[in-house]
Amino acid sequence: MEKDGNGSRFAFYQEKSNGEYTLHTHYIMSSTGYCKQELPKMHTRKGAKEGTMRYMYRFRSFTYSSFNWMHNSFYPNKRKVMPTNINLENYTTPLATAIWVMDDGYHIKNKGMGFTTNTYTLDEIKYLGDMLKRKYSLDYSIVKTGTVNQYNMYMPKSSSMMLGNIIKKYLVPSMYYKMPVQCFL
């Protein structure tokens, strides 16, 4: 989210390779009146390697002062956190969970799946995992990323399969690879 004047807005940035997902997200946002119907534009950015370019799709929602509570909850002191002032479980629908998987999920061949959660604290990751356990009866563990104080959430294959069955109707086909293939048989 971004602050813009007296309001806040959602900003969506995705690599060109995730174009189907970006267009799907744009369709949800525009069909519900939260952004322009004009399709997302392609932008370029310098890549990490010398002389390379990254191609990104980008769009933003409209700015609303009614979004400020979300920005203030998730970005106090300009750092993204898991808020303690709201019950995220109330907002964790199958669609919201599918979007989280499409954004931050990754498949671990023949083992399960993980979530890139390394920007959160260990307590915040435990909060997220416990919420998924309460809401969907999913098991999880927390694994070190190799960087000090950074961790990812891991879900074993059995829980990945359960999650896949809960969210698969909301996944765009180009994102099926993030879930065990058995979810789609």
- pTM as predicted: 0.87
With a CB cutoff of 8 Å and minimum separation 6, the contacts of 144 are 150, 151
48, 116: one domain? no
Taking the C-alpha atoms of residue 74 and residue 164, their distance in angstroms, rounded to an integer, is 26
In this predicted structure, what is the pLDDT of residue 114? 93
Which of 78, 97, 122 represents a domain boundary (last residue)? 78
127, 40: one domain? no
104, 144: one domain? yes
In this predicted structure, what is the pLDDT of residue 156? 94
| CATH number of the structural domain spanning residue 127 | 3.10.28.10
72, 117: one domain? no
pLDDT band at 86 (very low <50, low <70, confident <90, very high): confident
Residue 159 predicted with pLDDT over 90: yes
- Give residue for tokens 């891991």: 154
Name the residue range of residue 115's domain.
88-184
101, 73: one domain? no
106, 167: one domain? yes
- Structurally, how many domains does the chain consist of? 2
Write a three-state SS string for the chain. CEEECCEEECEEEEEHHHHHHHHHHHHHHHHCCCCCCCCCEEEEEECCCCCCEEEEEEEECCCEHHHHHHHHHHCHHHCCCCCCCCCHHHCCCHHHHHHHHHHHEEEECCCEEEECCCCCCHHHHHHHHHHHHHHHCCCCEEEECCCCCCEEEEEEHHHHHHHHHHHHHHCCHHHHHHCCHHHHC
